[in-house]
Amino acid sequence: MTSRARWGGAVALVLASSPALAEDAGTPKAAASLVDATTVVADLVVDLRYATEDNFLKRKVYPDSARCLLLPESAQRLKKAADALRAKGYRLKVYDCYRPRAVQWEMWKIMPVPGYVANPRTGSNHNRGGAVDLTLTTLEGQEVEMPTPFDTFSPAAHHGYAGGTEASRKHREILREAMEGVGFKRNRMEWWHYDLPDAKKRPVLDVPFPPP
């Protein structure tokens, strides 16, 4: 069961006691408050790919009410990164934020490859609100060139990839410097994926997106 309450721009998702989730969280009751990142980063561009068919699942797994929900600490760090990038002529565009654990199971059925898709038994940092998938855009909202499209499971998506165009590598590094500069940790296999440094300590959640 879940109970939901809304205070201003924040959406509080409180998880009732659940044996499976309690085991993941390491506590008898897992609870977390997730905020809508657009209330913290005013010019954030939102393109939640799992609310569309434009993803590796080739089907929509998020409802129309899906938003970029993050732990407050994730959102505040994202704001700092966005502030630094704005001065350089860029905005942030998010592809995925909080992800219900039920969706993680759907992904695992298709791509059960640790490193690319987290095992839902232990949970993804997306399931904790402690991870964000994102890219850069111009100030007008136009995506800039990156080494690969989002969710490309190949060596070309790795941070150490030396191929592709000079512009794509430059943009990847601008994003990395901004995100690591505010304390996020990069996923070496995905140029778009960044985690809170202590994300693994946060509880795994499987609460649905609240209605709009």
List phi, psi (to 5°) of 145: -70, 135
C-alpha R_g of the chain:
16
Which residues, including other chains, have CB under 8 Å from residue 125's CB and lie 6 or more apart? 118, 131, 195, 196, 199, 200, 202
Pick from 181, 180, 176, 177: nearest CA to 192:
176
Sole residue written with tokens 């898709």: 117
Q: Which of 23, 145, 177, 190 is catalytic?
A: 190
CA distances from 179 to 39, 106, 151, 175, 204 (A): 19, 28, 19, 6, 23
203: phi then psi, degrees, rounded to nearest 5: -70, 145
Taking each helix axis as running N to C, give the angle between helix 72-86 and helix 166-181, from 0 to 180 degrees, rounded to the nearest 10.
130
Q: How many residues does the chain have?
A: 212
CA distance 52 to 58: 8
Residue 180: active-site member: no
Which amino acids are annotated catalytic? 190
